[in-house]
Structure 1
Amino acid sequence: MLLIAAALVANIAFIGLGSAFDYPAILQRPPAEVLERFHDNPAVIGGWFLLLAIGAGLLAPVALKLRTAGMPAPVAGKLRTDEGVAPGAVKPRTAGLLAPAAVKPRTDEGVAPGAVKPRTAGLLAPAAVKLRAAEGVVPAAGKLRTAEWVGIAAAAVQVVGLLRWPLIVPFVDDPGTFHTLNVVMGNIVGEACGYVLTAIWTVLVARRMAVLPRVWGFVAAGAIATGLAPALALVNFAGYVLWSLWLIGLGTQQLTRARAAHASR
């Protein structure tokens, strides 16, 4: 639900800002004009920006949830080269086959060194790809830790950039100060850092998906990254639309898997 909520909240806020503030097009106007327009209705505009910040901030718990719940399984029908197990095969695994850091007793899995734990390889079929949170196992844990921190950083910089509107801009009257604020907290922190980190997080998550959502995520990430070039603003906008749909699709997939896992118990 978090993935779906993040996409919906951000897009509702974006639509509200477009209606009340002509956002983001108004940012191309002179700072004095933008500031005057904001002060005409600071409560409503600031409220929409606050909601947009909440939507952006939801990326942090989304990244944490993916860390604890596990990532989507690789493409069905391919050899699991990362684990050396063909789809559908029973995988006996000993603790000694794990990374050196995990040779000690695995209290998170309840498996002592040398004990055999048969487990089927993950397929995309609902019965075989249920989330492995109950076992405390997260595929490709190193990649997930990276994705977790990148996702949290992406959320943080965007929240910091957006919160300038409801928390600082209402008390700014000087267009020069407002312009500096927009450049530092908006263009550099919120936008440039936000675009790059969001794109990287999307690639880290999408790389373990099936072909269609993987390609979809890569395309969305690339389009989001074009936000660094002002001339490609429309491509960046389209990227965020694709990204929102991708999040909703991923959230729907996880809900379906969770229900299938619950039904199979």
Structure 2
Amino acid sequence: MLTNVAFTALGSVFNYPDVLKEPVADVLAAFRDHQGAVTTWFTVLALSAALFAPIAIGVGRLSSSRAMRVAVPVGVAAAVVQVIGLARWPLLVPGFAADAASADPAVAAGGRDSFALAHLVLGNIIGETLGYLLTAAWTLLVLAALKSPAWFNLLGAASAILVLVGVLSPLDLPGVDLANFVGYVLWSLWLLAFAVRLLRRSGDRRDDPVLVDLAVDRGPGHAQ
């Protein structure tokens, strides 16, 4: 929910992510025009990405299967790479934007080049490509570890596959960005459905197939 609020706000004040398709000078000019709001919402977005780590650790308690043991570090890694990618906006981009507005052509060119390099390495490669890959992998591993209803598995698997399609974004293939966007919308719904199931069944965990592994693997004394 926090991710979706921040993403929507950035779309409103910064035309994100479409603004990234503009020339670097235009992106940095738009950033300067709304720097306070943009840095604030990217900080919120980075915080929401960081929350993926405790989510992965908490979900890891639902099963002691091999798939879940792998899922925990994968989920934590997904949080780390996305925080790295997003944190460049409040930490690095203000300096790049200031340099790009310099009256010295060399300084201005250096600011634009530094932004482009950070966007490629920290944004495209680390934050996006690795983020898509690890998020999809975590989701599929969790589905493999838990005994869940068919609709829950279908929603999670569909969202993971569509999120994973995002790794093809640098190829500029038609429909990739839309598929990735739809994937994250579905993934958000899957996470909310996951949370609702956990909350609704907290009084009688043995009756919920999502939670059955916890009771079976750890025994009745650990099912609290």
- TM-score band by shorter chain is 0.7 to 0.9
- Residue identity matched to 1:66: V
- Residue identity matched to 1:225: L
Give the CA deviation at 1:139.
Answer: 4.0
Give the CA deviation at 1:259.
Answer: 3.5
State yes or no: 1:213 paired with 2:152. Answer: yes
Query: 2:167 maps to which residue?
Result: 228
> Runs of 4 or more off by more than 3 Å in structure 1?
none
Matches for 1:25-104 after TM superposition, within 5 Å: 25-68=18-61, 70=62
Q: Deviations along 1:36-66, whole A, 9 cap, x unmatched?
A: 1101121110100011111111110001101
TM-score (norm 1): 0.68
5+ residue gaps, structure 1, are 1-7, 71-137
Query: 1:251 maps to which residue?
Result: 195
Matches for 1:183-198 after TM superposition, within 5 Å: 183-198=120-135
Q: Deviations along 1:118-155, whole A, 9 cap, x unmatched?
A: xxxxxxxxxxxxxxxxxxxx341x22111000000000
**Aligned to 2:16, what secondary structure does the other structure show?**
coil
How many Å separate the matches in 1 of 2:27 and 2:60?
Answer: 40
Query: 1:160 maps to which residue?
Result: 84
- Residue identity matched to 2:192: I
Q: Deviations along 1:144-189, whole A, 9 cap, x unmatched?
A: 1110000000000000000000111001121111111100000000
5+ residue gaps, structure 2, are 100-110, 206-223
How many Å separate the matches in 2 of 1:139 and 1:185?
Answer: 34
CA-atom RMSD, angstroms?
A: 1.3
Give 1 or 2 for the bigger CA radius of gyration: 1
How many Å separate the matches in 1 of 2:203 and 2:116?
Answer: 50
Give the CA deviation at 1:260.
Answer: 3.8
Q: Deviations along 1:178-229, whole A, 9 cap, x unmatched?
A: 1111000000000000000000001011222221111111110100011112
Question: Would you say how many aligned residue pairs link Structure 1 and Structure 2?
Answer: 186
Query: 1:149 maps to which residue?
Result: 73
How many Å separate the matches in 1 of 2:47 and 2:204?
Answer: 30
How many Å separate the matches in 2 of 1:259 and 1:28?
Answer: 49
Give the CA deviation at 1:248.
Answer: 0.3
